[in-house]
Chains A and B, each alone.
Chain A
Amino acid sequence: MRNKWWMVLALLVVVPGLLLSTGCAKQAVKADAEVSQATGQDQAALEAERARKAAEAARLAAEEEARRRAEEARQREIAAFQNENVHFEFDRSDLTPEAVAILKKKAAWLNANPQVAVMVEGHCDERGTNEYNLALGERRAQSAKNFLVNMGISASRLSSISYGEERPLDPGQDEAAWAKNRRAQFVIQ
């Protein structure tokens, strides 16, 4: 029984295969003949077509490169926007001159990118106590947000949240780490 099936399978696969291979050989010969006849007349047209395609490809590549660079630049801008934090003094939520300078840059970028919405996060260092720091963090976020609103950014694009001392950037326990952690952070939504 099994042997019979093998024979049927062999016939089904091998016989059409032989037929096809002879067919192809004949067609290939014919195609060669056509190409040799066409060579003289269309050589110039083919060359022109090839050049046109190469130019098109180059143009597309340049465009792609420009697009990629623009996107990279934008990603750098976004990263710069998100990574540059505004820092605060201990137990303070008012803005230092450095904080104001950074917030002015952020306002300019937000003006240039009107489709962007931002969450302003307020954070504290680990000193002090948790609940008070949640309140202080909220005041820091509000300080930064209010400054941006006064610079003309629509309040509808800005939201705020306090994390108190729950999300430190630097787990260290020295003034350098604490200073880094006392911050308003800006997250594009």
Chain B
Amino acid sequence: MNQIRPHTGHCPGRSIGFYLVIGLLWLAALAVSPSRGAAADYGYIDLTNPFLRKIPIAIPQFRTLNPGAEVDRLAAEGSRLMSDTLNFTGYFMIVDPAAYLIDPSKMGVTQADVDFKAWKEIGSDLLITGLTALDEDVVEMELRLFDTVKQQLLLGKRYAARASDYRRLVRRFCAEVLLHLTGSAGPFESKIAFVSTGSGQKEIYTCDFDGYDPQPFTRHQSISLRPSWSSDGQWISYTAYRKDRAELYIRHRTDKRGAVVSQAGLNLNGGWVPGRFELGATLSVSGDQEIYLLTGAGDIVKRLTQQPDIDVSPTFSPDGKRMAFVSKRAGSPQIYVMDLGSGQSERLTFEGNYNTQPSWSPKGDRIAYTGMVKNRIDIYVIDLRTRAIAQLTRDSGDNESATWSPDGSLIAFSSTREGTSRIYVMTAFGTDQRRLLTLPGAQSMPSWSPGGIQ
């Protein structure tokens, strides 16, 4: 049993100097595995539909180790952010602080000091405690996850970071919590690219997975559309108009590097092939719209479709062996799946006469798409094995452009449910639909990055 002891004896700054010397922006350290027996336990969450029964979790305001207005602020912000971040996943029900039987400002934070019964009594199966210390501009947090029913420490970590980076520190612990409970670290290290008209023209922007810190990515001042991320998360490709042509741009996320695909006709961006530096694109250089496989440098590897009608919107299976796309070959736009080895295609959707924008789930078992029925545009998901279709949005404006979080648990999409098009997030089962962010202008075409790029 290797647990964190009460942190009262010495200043936490002792270890901080060491970490700054090794140059880390922030440091996950003194990671305390509670015990061999309490290793990852997925029994808490039913992974077949984890959002049916949310796990009640209490996250009382973090305690502080040393006095001061700034450390008080960090403790309050940190615990609030942890509630928001875990709530974002859709797995949890955050217990209302008004129900607490214990004053958070006086409670103990370690296994020895936590009054488990008081938390179990208000229905909280899980509890997170935090202890915050501030030394100059370095914040240190000890964070613990408890099972109040088993009265057991599930996870204990101590982190240090620059105070301005406390957000990453909180997210790192949230990822540990999710990894422990679900086996997947969640979407916390991912970003979302999208289109916004805030400047008057459609430009590409990026923000954190939870809508935090939106930043402009393009400044073409024309029309920029449909961003997508390379499978290593380092490149963003998109379509933009220059002069009299829609071109495909492949740009590095941070450096001024990249390529432009500018064949005659349309050059439309598509999805990237997981695990490879390749992407699908729609080019009409042959005279009609066909899907091509391109290298990340913009060179044509091969032409994938050979039909005289519209073929567009490629998205690839996680193993890179199959591609879903939209084709009008049967008279109306429908989703097809192509085996890239044999080149054989199979029609996937038969309901309705307008199914577009396929997005292959990171787990590989399902494809989300946009269907139009009686002028209503909604997000649907089709199970590739059973072909069962689930409608995820309804009676709430037009809903388009589904994109999966890297862990497959969430879907971002655009909706006109509040009038202007904005970006929303829901669980993969359609529950917990809420707006991701509010910016000037209209937002559309979200694209969720792979994990691990924060």
Report A's interface with B, CB cutoff 8 A: 91, 119, 127-132, 134-136, 138-139, 159, 161-163, 166
Contact = CB atoms under 8 A, between A and B. Distances in A.
A169 B65 CA distance: 63
B4 interface: no
A128 B354 contact: yes
B266 A132 contact: no
A131 B246 contact: no
Contacts of A91: 332-333, 353-354
B163 interface: no
B223 A136 contact: no
Given A131-B356, A131-B357, A162-B266, A138 B289 contact: yes
Interface stretch (B86-94, B369-377, B446-454): B369-377
Given A91-B354, A138-B266, A132 B377 contact: no
A140 B39 CA distance: 60
7 shortest interchain CB distances as A-B pairs = A135-B289, A129-B356, A135-B310, A132-B356, A135-B312, A131-B313, A129-B357
B400 A129 contact: yes
Given A136-B310, A139-B310, A166 B244 contact: no
Contacts of B155: none
A154 to B, nearest CB: 17
Given A129-B356, A132-B310, A134-B246, 17 more contacts: A91-B333, A91-B353, A127-B377, A128-B354, A128-B377, A129-B377, A129-B401, A130-B225, A131-B225, A131-B356, A131-B357, A134-B225, A134-B239, A135-B282, A138-B266, A139-B288, A161-B245
A131 B226 contact: yes
Contacts of A135: 266, 268, 282, 284, 289, 310, 312
- For chain B, what secondary structure do more than half of its interface residues adopt (helix, strand, loop), or is it mixed? strand
Given A91-B333, A166-B202, A159 B244 contact: yes
Contacts of A166: 202, 223, 225
A131 B372 contact: no
B202 A132 contact: no
Interface in B151-203: 202
A94 to B, nearest CB: 12
B265 interface: yes
B226 A130 contact: yes
A134 B266 contact: yes
B445 interface: yes
A127 B333 CA distance: 13
B392 to A, nearest CB: 16
B3 to A, nearest CB: 53
Nearest to A187: B244
B133 interface: no
A132 B375 contact: no
Contacts of A134: 225, 239, 246, 266, 268, 312
B313 A119 contact: no
B265 to A, nearest CB: 7
B410 interface: no
Nearest to B243: A161
B324 interface: no
B323 to A, nearest CB: 15
Given A135-B266, A138-B265, A162-B266, A127 B356 contact: no
B326 interface: yes
Contacts of B245: 161
Interface string B353-390: 11011000000000000101001010000000000000
Contacts of B266: 134-135, 138, 162
A169 B356 CA distance: 24
A163 B357 CA distance: 18
B312 A132 contact: yes
A41 B289 CA distance: 87
